[in-house]
Amino acid sequence: MKGTEHMHEAVSETMLHGTPHNTARPGEIAPLVLMPGDPLRARMIAETRLSEVRQFNSVRNMLGYTGTYRGVPVSVMGSGMGAPSMGIYSYELFAFYGVERIVRIGTCGGLTPDVEVGDLVMAMSASTDSNYAHQYGLQGTFSPCADYGMLEKAVQIARNRNLRFHVGNIFSSDIFSLYSALPPEAGWQRWARMGCKATDMECYALYCNAAYLGKKALTLLTCSDSNITHRAMSAEERQNSLLAMIDLALELAV
């Protein structure tokens, strides 16, 4: 009861002043939010894919916009890099702004030979080296999952559009793999051996927040580089591949 009262007080305060990281007022953010890591990509999506666009946040330059897609309200906002940043922004959206669904749209490093540069990876679940779930006081290891309904619809859309895609577990790391002090055989290769198809830095925190707050989340990633072949996207490839992922994500709104 005490925790519930505290939450109600926090929501009431948000209605008056926003949160420390978001100046939006109730009703300014849609029930579905797309979250790229880069706030400038959020702006690009708003300007090129949405109609009737209104900016609702610029605190710390973490830009957020609401518009419509095929007549349906959709918001897009940056998450920043890493679990702590995604954890803060997605928690506030879920807990204080009535957001029901968040779709993370980002890039990833491929960890298995079948994941090629440019492929779409849908995170069914996320493993991690992060201590993010410590806050829940669980006596074990928590494995958060995507919302199945959103995942199923995304798979159907990808098939209809003849996109190359993979569905499976990913590895959400606190360490950018290229800068890891560990050699591959002691680092990412161990996660790949257990079936993790790709690595990002934000999915685990997003899925944990969704689980804790009874919301829905899905992570869609475009493979921008391969840890196997060491091939990386050119600027043109990155643009075209990311647009395919973004357009798929938007279709989840309708």
Tell me if residue 225 is catalytic: yes
Long-range contact pairs involving 43-47 (C-beta distance under 8 Å, separation at least 24) = 45/76, 45/246, 46/76
8 A C-beta contact, residue 172 and residue 202: yes
Cα torsion 221, 127, 34, 71: sign? positive
- Strands 51-57, 216-226: pairing is unpaired
The catalytic position among 119, 147, 200, 225 is 225
> What would you measure as the largest C-alpha separation in the chain, in angstroms?
54
Whole-angstrom distance, CA of residue 73 vs CA of residue 118:
29
The residues that are catalytic are: 225
